[in-house]
Structure 1
Amino acid sequence: MSKKIKLLLAEDEPSLGQIVKESLETRDFEVFHALNGELAYDIYQKHQPEILVLDVMMPKKDGFTLAKEIRAENNSIPIIFLTAKSQTKDVIDGFQHGGNDYLKKPFSMEELIVRVHSLLDRVTLKKNLEKITIGDFIFNYEKQKLYYNNEVELLTHREAELLYYLTEKKNEVLDRTFILNKLWGNDDFFNARSMDVFISKLRKKLKKDTSVEIINVRGYGYKLTY
């Protein structure tokens, strides 16, 4: 049985809140429904949900204030605002208060569910990019850092990009033309020489683990093995 995703729904309209809660619960969510911002904050503290769906206009504590308080404790939890407003300023306010997305009322349940899953997928992807194992190395793509035991090697943006694509094709050939066009813009001679230099730099940074190797597959590209 798959683990249910914990979701906090802060919505002061009881009937709407119940409809949303019941709909989400049929889609493998465990939903905690709060009728005001203060209760929502208490529920957040107690149950540590994985995603928040917050109505903007609520009694005792509005959605923006609630999001700001939670953001001070957790900078990564996804937040969707529900709002009856659609003015540009209101949308901007939502993002400035820590929102990742917003839905204007009335909304369809299907749209809410798609947006919830989209944000959760982004969080999962980010976590995966923070810990890519390469032999005895840990590669944090987001921070452009390569960890080996207690040592940290800083990577340039292009080194991190190149290493990421190599890890994506682990034990397979990373096509030379593809990566030149992707990272350098075209596959001319000078860019090819530049890429060779970056490959050499990565080899030096990975040499602490002898099981890790970037192999030159002549005429095709490079292969990262470990």
Structure 2
Amino acid sequence: MKTKILLAEDDPDFGMILKQYLELEDFEVSWFQNPEGIVSRLTSYFPFHMGILDVMMPNIDGFSLAKMILKEKNNFPLLFLTAKNQKIDRLTGLKIGADDYISKPCDPEELVLRIKNIIKRTTPAVTETLIKIGQYSLDTKKLLLSHPNGNARLTIREQQLLVYLLQHNHSAITRDEILDNIWETNDYFTGRSLDVFISRLRKYFSDDPEIKIQSLRGIGFDIDFPDY
């Protein structure tokens, strides 16, 4: 499963170079020269795992764009790019909620390392025995989902699906992605099975209104678990 990166960069030459380099590093990059194209997608299909935003862009600067994104996609990982190496810019970015900051022109290898570190920090580790999920906790060894109001014993498939959703928190996932990665097949019957499993997970998490697994008609699901 490739990491999907949203790249906002109005410079056509630098944007193309950056996109090509990141794709060579096995990232999937959606490049927007006009930030307005990103804004229009915030309330619909938004399948990205993190964003790289140029600070200096026309119409909508990187800081303003970040605020719009974080308003709709709380805790979405962000890295700022800028040609200026000024302390005020770094502080502004960090106050908004940036995970990292790098000045242009940047070393591509350093950028990739920073991206990988962000993904590692913001992705729940599958190897964890106990994972905190809002008001719940998941014991992956015992397949046990615990809540003050009661516990639920998950099936192996339910836990696999839940962990996969956690790994793609604060993003949209297509049905095809889930079926290909969890069921390793994609047909009518597995599609119906996915719907059943999603319904079960929603029921398990019904005691925490902050946890949302919303259907995106014709696309898949928008995932939003509280961070821990």
TM-score of the two chains, using structure 2 as the length reference:
0.56
Aligned twin of 1:111: 110
The answer as to 2:35 corresponding to 1:34 is no
Aligned twin of 2:73: 74
CA displacement 1:129-152 (0-9 Å, x = unmatched)? 3254163644xxxxxxxx247349
Query: Normalized per residue, which structure has more helix?
Result: 1
Kindly tell me: are residues 68 and 148 of structure 1, through their superposed partners in 2, closer, same or farther at Cα, counting changes over 3 Å?
closer
Deviation at 1:96, TM superposition (A): 1.3
Identity of aligned residues (%): 39
Aligned twin of 2:185: none
Q: Is the 8 A contact 1:53 1:82 kept in 2?
A: yes
Aligned twin of 2:142: 135
Gaps of 5+ in 2: 152-228
CA distance in 2, matches of 1:107, 1:64: 19
Deviation at 1:120, TM superposition (A): 0.4
Q: Is the 8 A contact 1:56 1:82 kept in 2?
A: yes
What letter is aligned with 1:39? G
CA distance in 1, matches of 2:7, 2:88: 24
Q: Is the 8 A contact 1:33 1:40 kept in 2?
A: no
Q: Is the 8 A contact 1:32 1:43 kept in 2?
A: no
Deviation at 1:87, TM superposition (A): 1.8
Pick from 21, 27, 44: which aligns with 1:23? 21
Q: Is the 8 A contact 2:75 2:97 kept in 1?
A: no
Deviation at 1:123, TM superposition (A): 1.1
CA distance in 2, matches of 1:105, 1:48: 26
CA distance in 2, matches of 1:109, 1:41: 27
**Greater relative CO (CA pairs within 8 A, separation 6+):** 2
CA distance in 2, matches of 1:149, 1:64: 40
CA displacement 1:161-217 (0-9 Å, x = unmatched)? xxxxxxxxxxxxxxxxxxxxxxxxxxxxxxxxxxxxxxxxxxxxxxxxxxxxxxxxx
Aligned twin of 2:11: 13
Other structure's SS at 1:46 match: coil
Deviation at 1:112, TM superposition (A): 0.7
CA distance in 2, matches of 1:59, 1:4: 30
Aligned twin of 2:164: none
Give the greater-gyration-radius structure (CA): 1
Kindly tell me: are residues 34 and 89 of structure 1, through their superposed partners in 2, closer, same or farther at Cα, counting changes over 3 Å?
same
Count of aligned pairs between the two proteins? 142
The answer as to 2:113 corresponding to 1:100 is no
TM-score of the two chains, using structure 1 as the length reference:
0.57
CA distance in 2, matches of 1:110, 1:21: 13
Q: Is the 8 A contact 1:84 1:106 kept in 2?
A: yes
Following TM superposition, the consecutive aligned residue runs of length 4 or more in structure 1 with deviations greater than 2 angstroms are: 40-48, 125-132, 134-138, 147-152
Q: Is the 8 A contact 2:77 2:99 kept in 1?
A: yes
Kindly tell me: are residues 90 and 148 of structure 1, through their superposed partners in 2, closer, same or farther at Cα, counting changes over 3 Å?
closer
CA displacement 1:100-149 (0-9 Å, x = unmatched)? 111011101101100111000011137853254163644xxxxxxxx247
RMSD value, Cα:
2.2
Gaps of 5+ in 1: 139-146, 153-226
CA distance in 2, matches of 1:65, 1:126: 31
